[in-house]
Structure 1
Amino acid sequence: MTKYTHVVDLEQANTRIDKLLSDIINDTSRAQIQNWIKSGHVTVNGSEVKANYRVQENDQVVWELPEQESIKIEPEAIPLDIIYEDDDILIVNKPKGMVVHPSVGHHSGTLVNALLHHTKQLTTINGEDRPGIVHRIDRDTSGLLIIAKTDQAYESLAQQLKDREAQRTYLALVHGAIPHEYGTIEAPIGRNPKDRQSMAVVNNGKEAITYFEVIERINQKYTLIKCSLKTGRTHQIRVHLKYIGFPIVGDPKYGRKKTFQEDGQALHACELGFRHPKTNEWMHFEVEPPQSFINYLNKAKESY
């Protein structure tokens, strides 16, 4: 068993324990968390609780996760929005709500399950449980992902990401009216010392740089922006925007508690640019945001 601890802050007070843990544990369903609670793997202040227990400020929540068992990944006939494909790479527009690869609580229904049904030609250089995966985006972030079919493609693309040659651009809707048109957020990111299941700007974190550009200010309460990554830390855009006081709308982990009733954050990976791993040709792809993102925008424009 692996043990984790979280101390409830004022903003999280009065939240159901199963909802709290589903917000702070990556890629784990609420149903799975309810099973852990029922099995006694979750305690609050040293005592077992029920899934509907509402946490209070300064409650100490402890949970133990079973050691991850090896997962047999099965191909699944899940529709894929394929933007481009050749013998070396695939470009996929991942829908919001889809986990990229299998993990605890997500043994099926992932992008990898869908990819294995689509093609048998996927590199496993990054692990048998992550065939083809070069980089990932969060479950509730939609948009473009590069998939490598060959080892050579993976090594080339991974090196481009490491060398900061590849370009990744995101659309985000944030709380507040950002006053300047452009900005650079340069602040190191690491594990949050108060919550090991989330990230934060910390002094001993890894270098993290995010650029942003304002597209539209909405009712002086929201701002639509484009963000580009120079580095690719876990939850980088979400953490950086919270850090400067403009959290992403709908973000369950780093956003405001009171927000629009849509599932997940208003964040969309809209553009990708990179050199083709075989031809060295520069390739560029763009996709429009999904309806869920448009819904957020419409609600922002309707607010006064």
Structure 2
Amino acid sequence: MIIVTGATGQLGRQTVERLLTRVPADQVGISVRDPQKAQSFADRGVRVRRGDFSDAASLAHAFEGASQVLIISVDKMGDECVKLHRAAIEGAVAAGARRILYTSQVGAAASARFQACRDHAATEEALRACGVPFTALRNGFYVTSAVQFLGNALESGQLVLPADGPVCWTTHADLADATAAILADEGCFDGPTPPLTAGRAHTFDDIAGIATEITGRTMTRTTAPDEQFVREMTGYGVPAERAYNLLGFFVASRAGECATVDPALATLLGREPVALGAALREQLSDN
């Protein structure tokens, strides 16, 4: 049985949907903190069980009978994030999974300037040490994160962010398609995958121009000093540690750590990934 964690989140839900087009529902199980939110999958024959990375007993139940476990990374950074990922890996090993898959990220490295990429690197090290074959999905950065950074700029016309560099923004939908294909073809990647990215990297100058074209309202990109960005984030109620972690993304991007473009995703999909302009048009129309 293929087990997918985090199946009520954006990537998890779409991955399960794509997976159900490739394998029978009775071969798919999901591990979620709130099974009620996954009732629609249960109604279609998917096994739904409660699983919480901080509760080993729940993982033993949720991962029971697993042939593969897809661990979708948690929305946290730092020691807590890696601790939870290690617990999930241990749960998958204990359940007897033949392969563990994990949603890592482009730029994962112990020396990365962005905390999330250091966390992914630490999780990949735990996977290497676990004794079970694994696949680390080196996903591109999500388009939805770019939209979140746009924030109030959609109304004010002023996109004020720290200096940045190119980022290869990639859609959840394309990554879900690729993940389902990899799960259905067990063992097609061993260890880290090639970067799974869209076809072109963009700066926030580019994004401001694309947003202007989509909305018909001029958006001006202004560079904010790093400390000003942190002050503004904390002023909005963001904890200081998280504000500095977010700043790390911009530091990493201007160092070229987020700009990787690779054809692997297009090869998996059998088509070109969705371009940023088309993805932003869809995202902005939903907001």
TM-score bracket for this pair, using the shorter chain length? under 0.3
TM-score, normalised by the number of residues in structure 1: 0.26
Q: How high is the TM-score relative to the length of structure 2? A: 0.27
1 or 2, which has the higher helix percentage?
2
Structure of greater relative contact order (alpha carbons < 8 Å, 6+ residues apart): 2
More strand by share: 1
